[in-house]
Amino acid sequence: MGADGGTDLRARKLSVATKKVVRNSESSAGAEARLQAARRCALSGHVLQEPMCCDSNGDLFNYEEVLTAIVDQRELPARFSHLTSRSAVLKLQGTTNPAYQTFLDLNNTAALGPAPLICPITSVELGASAFVAFWTCGHVVSKEAVGSSTHTCPVCEEHSVRVIPLLSGRQGVQSAARTRPVQTVTSGKDRRLKRLNRRLEKK
């Protein structure tokens, strides 16, 4: 009887330990996905570069790539079928991570480098903790910096009815993002954005 009881106890302990390992593995995978999503355009898988934008789901995009897809009336995955006009995204007013541009200048691989944005208040990197974007002003800050004033931007103190949790989705970026090289095409970006905006205004 005692032996049976001891065996059952060891079995229960093993079961509990196994569940902890599984939960830790899932947590690690989720953190990895969030770090990837904080550095890659959810639509194309290219590295995030300013100007950036987000949608109401908290996915991050390169603003130019979203405008191009809208202007060209490109057929998008079902997940992004709501991206049909500029009003579907918020152009972000983020604080650039000084280490990010250095990383882009020195690397031409898909290595996981620093995040493009940091919180202007806590200096935490995007993806390292929970971040939000204020729809009225576009500022991006860590949730820790918001405190109890959940709808007041701590940067400009403007009230925003919509506060978007960033990277809250669990699907992450397109799978191709892990194998694509870093692309840092910045020459003429302002001119391209102006042309895209003019084309959208004519629609």
What pLDDT digit, counting tens, does each position of 40-65 carry?
999 999 889 889 999 999 999 999 99
Q: Which residues contact 101 (CB under 8 A, 6 or more apart)?
A: none
User: Per 3-state DSSP, what percentage of the chain is helix, strand, and coil (rounded to 5)?
Assistant: 40, 15, 45
- Among 90, 108, 101, 106, residue whose Cα is nearest residue 186: 101
Name the band, by pLDDT with cuts 50, 70 and 90, for residue 107: low
Which residue bears the tokens 């031409």? 108
Residue the block writes with tokens 């480098």: 113
DSSP 175: G
pLDDT of residue 32: 79
pTM for this structure? 0.71
Q: How confident is the model at residue 196 (pLDDT cuts 50, 70, 90)?
A: low
The pLDDT-based confidence of 38 (bands split at 50, 70, 90) is very high
Mean pLDDT value of segment 114-137? 94
